Amino acid sequence: MQQRKLGPFTVSAIGLGCMNVSMGYGPRIADDEAGRLFNAALDQGYSFLDTASLYGLGHNESLIGKYLKSRRDEYVLASKCGFSRTEDGKTVMDGRPEVLMQTCEDSLRRLDTEVIDLYYLHRIDPKVPVEESVGALARMVQQGKVRTIGLSEICNDSLRRAHAVHPITAVQSEYSLWTRTPEQKILATCAELGIGFVPFSPLARQFLTGKSPDVTQVDENDIRATIARPRFEPENFAKNSQLLIPFGAIAEREGCSMAQLALAWLLAQGDSIVPIPGTRHADRMIENAGAAAIELSPATVEELDALINEDTVAGYRYTDALMKSTDSEKDWPR
């Protein structure tokens, strides 16, 4: 697969979002099936894997440790701390340094590795200054437990404050044709400071593949029925689906699938952008990798920009409460 630079690392232009085998969109798959998918992804040329302590409450990291330990030098490993879930399913942000240090120890044990290449603060904890949380991540670097630091769903001001404490290697936030928050400020700051950008949910939570159901057809724990519900509500979904007709026609014209078109558009936004689509299916993992070879003309990029964007899409990406409490959304108060 084509390669990109992400801080000190050279990685495949498309990375693998590993979360999906443990949680998020439909049932978890069997462990050995996930192991086969991960190994097939490395065989396919993926060399950037994304996980988090949150995903399956350690299950996802343990799968990587179990099934990919013997191939550890073949991939850049990214994980995350600072975001967890209580027994009753409530998510909690905890950015206290001592908690992050302990989570790092737990991640290392589950991943069965001596060092994590890129360790993100998953969410800013509003009760803890970002300098303190990033200070803990900087200590992990000094101790050789982590190679580089990242931040997820962070606003511009928080990024600059964090970068003053310790150089940041990558920002990971939601970015796709239908979620444009990063275009407000953070992409420019990343370019200015030499920070890579990793778009999560690059397929718009399956919407841009043309295969997503609406909220009435998914499990109650599916992300599309919980935090990302608004755009999948039947009325919004029906309106948004109209956009997929011309989008599908462009994909056909470009000789690629809709998933590949969505990823190729992201790759065209900058050289330090590395999307991480997630899937539980080997054929889709291979299809997504194919996007790295697609080069869109500036005219096509512009056409896509105008077709699907936050003005043409109905509904916000998150529920109202989450829109208000997510740090990255401070860059675009709505």
Ligand X SMILES: NC(=O)c1ccc[n+]([C@@H]2O[C@H](COP(=O)([O-])OP(=O)(O)OC[C@H]3O[C@@H](n4cnc5c(N)ncnc54)[C@H](OP(=O)(O)O)[C@@H]3O)[C@@H](O)[C@H]2O)c1
Q: What residues line the site for ligand X (CB under 6 A)?
A: 17-20, 24-26, 50, 152-153, 172, 200-206, 209, 211, 259, 276-281, 284, 287-288
| Minimum CB distance to ligand X smaller for 121 or for 296 | 121
| Residue 28, token pair as written in the block | 């978890």
| Minimum CB distance to ligand X smaller for 61 or for 153 | 153
Q: CB of residue 275 vs ligand X: minimum separation in angstroms?
A: 8
Residues 6 or more apart from 256 whose CB is under 8 A from it?
264, 290, 291, 294
C-alpha separations of 126 from 57, 94, 185, 220 in Å: 22, 9, 20, 28
| Minimum CB distance to ligand X smaller for 25 or for 197 | 25
Q: CB of residue 201 vs ligand X: minimum separation in angstroms?
A: 4
Q: CB of residue 196 vs ligand X: minimum separation in angstroms?
A: 14
Pairing relation of β-strands 146-152 and 116-121? parallel
Closest C-alpha among 295, 296, 206, 210 to residue 247? 210
Query: Assign residue 315 a region: left if phi > 0, alpha if psi is -120 to 50, beta otherwise?
Result: left
Alpha carbons 63 and 313: distance in angstroms, whole number: 36
| Minimum CB distance to ligand X smaller for 53 or for 189 | 53
DSSP symbol at 327: G
- Of 55, 75, 119, 175, the active-site residue reads 55
* Chain residue whose CB lies nearest ligand X: 17
Judge whether 84 and 94 are in contact, CB under 8 Å.
Answer: yes
Q: What count of other Cβ atoms lies within 10 Å of the Cβ of residue 86?
A: 9
DSSP symbol at 27: P
Q: CB of residue 139 vs ligand X: minimum separation in angstroms?
A: 22
| Minimum CB distance to ligand X smaller for 95 or for 278 | 278
| Minimum CB distance to ligand X smaller for 287 or for 299 | 287
| Residue 187, token pair as written in the block | 């992409």
Q: CB of residue 211 vs ligand X: minimum separation in angstroms?
A: 4
Q: CB of residue 212 vs ligand X: minimum separation in angstroms?
A: 7
Q: CB of residue 300 vs ligand X: minimum separation in angstroms?
A: 19
Query: What are the residue ranges of helices labelled H in the chain?
Result: 31-44, 59-68, 97-111, 130-142, 156-165, 186-193, 234-242, 244-254, 258-267, 282-289, 298-307, 320-325
Judge whether 46 and 288 are in contact, CB under 8 Å.
Answer: no
Give the angle subtended at the CA of 173 by the CAs of 104 and 286, to the nearest 5°: 90
| Minimum CB distance to ligand X smaller for 19 or for 142 | 19
Alpha carbons 16 and 22: distance in angstroms, whole number: 14
Q: Annotated catalytic, 55?
A: yes
Judge whether 145 and 318 are in contact, CB under 8 Å.
Answer: no
Active-site annotation, residues: 55
